[in-house]
Structure 1
Amino acid sequence: MTEILSLSYEELKREIQELGLERFRADQIFDWIYKKRVFDFEAMTNLSKGNRVFLKERFAFPVFSMKSRQKAKDGTEKFLWKLYDNEYIESVVIRHSEHITFCISTQVGCQLGCAFCATGLSGFKRNLSTSEIVAQVLYMEKEINEDVDNIVFMGMGEPFMNSKPLFKSIEILHDEKGRNLGIRHFTISTAGIPNGIKELADSRLAIKLSVSLHAADNEKRSRLMPINRRFSIEELFEALRYYQKKTGNRITFEYILIEDINDSFKDAKNLARLLRGLKSFVNLIPINPVVPQFHRPPVDRSKAFEEELNKLGIEAALRVEKGTDIDAACGQLRRRELRGNKR
């Protein structure tokens, strides 16, 4: 049985015609799914009863059940989804004054093992399918009864280690017949996979890029992010320069501030030196309380780091925290659920 959320409009139209139905049925189905957020063929009332039964026998929606939904004081919402194989993933709704952003997962868990990350602590299980990635967007829109404005692939997993479903899901959500979300409203966040960054550059899609950096030298970054032992800072930045030359896009860098690890003036100077020559913006993020051995710097120290970068000509800002009271860092709900299941 074909997962219907894995099909682009053109693919669905071809399949519909091959099954002997009129091509305009694809328009009707896409309208029900992506405009009306209806995920049951029985409810698609402008299709005949026979067609509804016929479609139900040939196409399936992904098995998603909402295990929990938490809402923070600032409006941030976090969803824990149970999948067909009893695995769990998380998605987050982030509300800003003028827009809504969805933080979407691309894998069940993560194999990169970053020292500060809750997702990696629970291990890696598998990649998500295209339909499971798309479903997070549509199901959250249905639950909150609001349209998303921006999508960031910054949830569980490394997007570029599941690149085919990642790009296919963007194609589907961008399609004007479907969700019709502008291509510049997508951001891919990577821990630093050079081939994926170059693939994005060569796609000539104006998708934004965010890089989890967290340290400006190989020794320190390898300690925090083991992927750096495979792809050094030099190799990563060669790919980033290629991306910027191809696209002209500014690159956002995520930099988690960890007390006495990467928050000194020397670290700020090294970071400024590394970013020189790139159009960049640095998101400074005081570490979430996930791993006991890592602590947040005092507020004044974090602010001093920000000011030092700006003084050195690097645009940077301390991120306004959202969702801390509901453990909005990806992986925290999944870890809690997995621990609960083992009791």
Structure 2
Amino acid sequence: MVPLSVLDLAPIGTGSTATAALATSTKLVQLVEDLGFRRYWVAEHHGMPGIASSSPAVLIAHLAAVTERIRVGSGGVMLPNHQPLVIAEQFGTLDALHPGRIDLGIGRAPGTDQRTARALRRGTAALGADDFPEQLGELMAYFRGDGPVAAVPAQGQDPAVWLLGSSGYSAQLAGLMGLPFAFAHHFSSENTLPALELYRKMFRPSEVLAEPYALIAASVLCAPDDAEARRLALPSALQFLQLRLGRPGPVPTPEEAAAYRYSPEERDFVEQRLASQIIGSPETVRTGATELVERTGVDELMVVTSTHDGDDRLRSYRLLTEALGGASGDSGPAHAPAVAATSGTSAA
């Protein structure tokens, strides 16, 4: 297996709180560091009652402070929501506090609904997804020290810049810029292979990478047996259905998910959602994860697990690691990108 990493949305369960969700994130990052995971990313989402990770930079500062070795970063910061200077200052500060451990994963989607996006972008009406390449260029210039103004303490700091995506746009841009690429397989599985193929086809060697380096984020839930894993996975699928129906909410309990009266269309949606995930006993998950890595040829597997109860998430990562015989994978050159020591460009 390739190295394992974590994508954390800090899910909030029905009847629980953001405080409890973030306490689970703290436990989880310490657990996976001990288990040998490579990196731990938090995702930016806004206006969602079931997700507590609306402020990645703040959460990254906390998670990095309670760990020692694991890389910590964003998966990702949604660049159109922020002025590039602000992100540069935030992640320059993080890298100054935790040198060599900070990842800056950048996305171009708003990560929220249009009304919330407008509130986030107040005063920046000219910025949007269409300006993404220009915003990205400005952001990286601040770390090099040749931005339009001085970004302190960004200049001279070196967070690892990644591009994130769920379609071909970011895949192509990451390839042309010679940056590492992270694909959102967990909610866009039908686009995974085309996007990875495009990234590798368009890749141009850079000061960052001599050859392509890609990871995918996949939904995985491991439990003692297949039935228990499906019971624990159903609430997250129902939560995603409710989001698509315009009713975002916390992660339901397994009992609520089982009792929900699904229409035929809703049942099909949930089943398709579950079918794109790796869910089951340790043996089932080992088979599914191995097949996914072999089919995609990725260099790293980033695992996202959402359950109503935080303890079930922690157990899932323990069982997954045991099933795969460890989390560090092959640490040789095939799974570690060639990195030049240039400001704002490291990737490993």
Which structure is larger by alpha-carbon Rg, 1 or 2? 1
Shorter-chain TM-score category? 0.3 to 0.5
Name the TM-score, length of structure 1 as normaliser. Answer: 0.42
Higher relative strand content: 1
Name the TM-score, length of structure 2 as normaliser. Answer: 0.42
